[in-house]
């Protein structure tokens, strides 16, 4: 299994958090639980070789080879499976607020959903999917999809400076900043910020802050720290250990103790460690 990160084009970096290519001769390892935990980033997924099965909230969906799919912001975990053969796919992860300026689709309509690109983006999604399917080679696909995103951005770009400020502020505090403080710093009410986040992010500021808090501990797990070490910082981020355990289980499907001791998730570990 290999995950290669690619630097997005300069004009897209404000909107794209990361761009990476997954390659494996045997698909998603059958011996592991390949878990995609919530990270606050909506995604485009391009299965180049082999199809992917994702299971989330008890629902199973298939992302088919040579397709193009959009994943809205999630606040629950996803298990990923594939058949045991050559597998290659591209993932473009947008900043929490980065997909809306590009596509202009209200992000609350995509929350916790994996959708075919045509269902979300109409003709653009269909045309891009067909062209990607006919291009041979990862480099050509990467060049083409970035061209298309840049073109779409130039046509659809919308001002989101307030959302950018709010997301960045929450991210820098690792989700610890009280939402009341966000109201004070921006001069806008929580009701207005909730509406704005629904459109641009798909999650409320409170939900996104919860993901940022969780990700701080998830990344430390990815670095190899034990549950006992993780517990030392809990009081700075959560009301108590029960609150932490509840949030962690919702975002991984496991209790923190069981996850850190029993779950083999090399796929998630490599992504979280970046």
Q: Is pLDDT of 198 > 80?
A: yes
141 shares its domain with 196: no
Q: What is the pTM of this model?
A: 0.93
State the total domains in the chain: 2
Give the end of a domain, one of 156, 176, 209: 156
Q: Could you report the per-residue pLDDT of 129-180, keeping only the tens digit for each?
A: 999 999 999 999 999 999 999 999 988 867 789 999 999 999 999 999 999 9
121 shares its domain with 24: yes
For 213, the domain range is 161-273
User: For residue 201, what is the domain's CATH number?
Assistant: 1.10.10
The whole-number pLDDT of residue 211 equals 95
40 shares its domain with 108: yes
Tell me the pLDDT of the chain averaged across its residues: 91
The whole-number pLDDT of residue 229 equals 72
Length of the chain measured in residues: 274
- pLDDT: is 89 or 241 the higher one? 89
Give the end of a domain, one of 130, 156, 182: 156
Q: Is pLDDT of 73 > 90?
A: yes
What is the per-residue burial (b if ≥16 Cβ within 10 Å, else e) of 15-45? Answer: bbbbbbbbebeebbbeeebbbbbbbbbbbbb
131 shares its domain with 83: yes
Q: Which segment of 179-183, 227-231, 236-240 scores lowest on mean pLDDT?
A: 227-231
Report which of 239, 234, 242, 240 is spatially closest to residue 216, judged by C-alpha positions. 234
């Amino acid at each position: 299994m290999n995950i290669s990160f690619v630097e997005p084009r300069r004009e897209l970096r404000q909107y794209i958090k990361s761009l990476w290519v997954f390659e494996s001769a045997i698909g998603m390892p059958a011996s592991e639980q390949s878990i995609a935990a919530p990270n606050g980033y909506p995604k485009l997924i391009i299965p180049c070789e082999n199809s992917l099965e994702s299971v989330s909230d008890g629902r199973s969906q298939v992302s088919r080879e040579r397709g193009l799919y959009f994943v809205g912001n999630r606040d629950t975990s996803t298990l990923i499976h594939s058949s045991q053969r050559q597998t290659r796919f591209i993932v473009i992860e947008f900043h929490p607020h980065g997909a809306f300026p590009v596509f202009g689709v209200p992000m609350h309509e995509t929350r916790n959903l994996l959708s075919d690109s045509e269902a979300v983006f109409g003709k653009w999604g269909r045309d891009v999917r067909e062209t990607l399917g006919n291009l041979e080679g990862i480099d050509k696909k990467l060049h083409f999809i970035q061209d298309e995103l840049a073109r779409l951005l130039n046509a659809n770009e919308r001002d989101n400076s307030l959302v950018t400020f709010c997301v960045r502020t929450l991210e820098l505090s690792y989700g610890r900043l009280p939402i009341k403080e966000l109201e004070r710093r921006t001069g806008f009410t929580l009701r207005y910020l909730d509406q704005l986040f629904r459109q641009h992010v798909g999650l409320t500021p409170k939900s996104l802050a919860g993901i940022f808090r969780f990700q701080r501990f998830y990344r430390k797990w990815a670095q190899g720290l034990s549950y006992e070490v993780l517990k030392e910082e809990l009081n700075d981020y959560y009301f108590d250990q029960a609150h932490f355990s509840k949030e962690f289980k919702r975002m991984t499907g496991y209790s923190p103790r069981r996850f850190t001791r029993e779950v083999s998730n090399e796929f998630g570990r490599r992504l979280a460690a970046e």
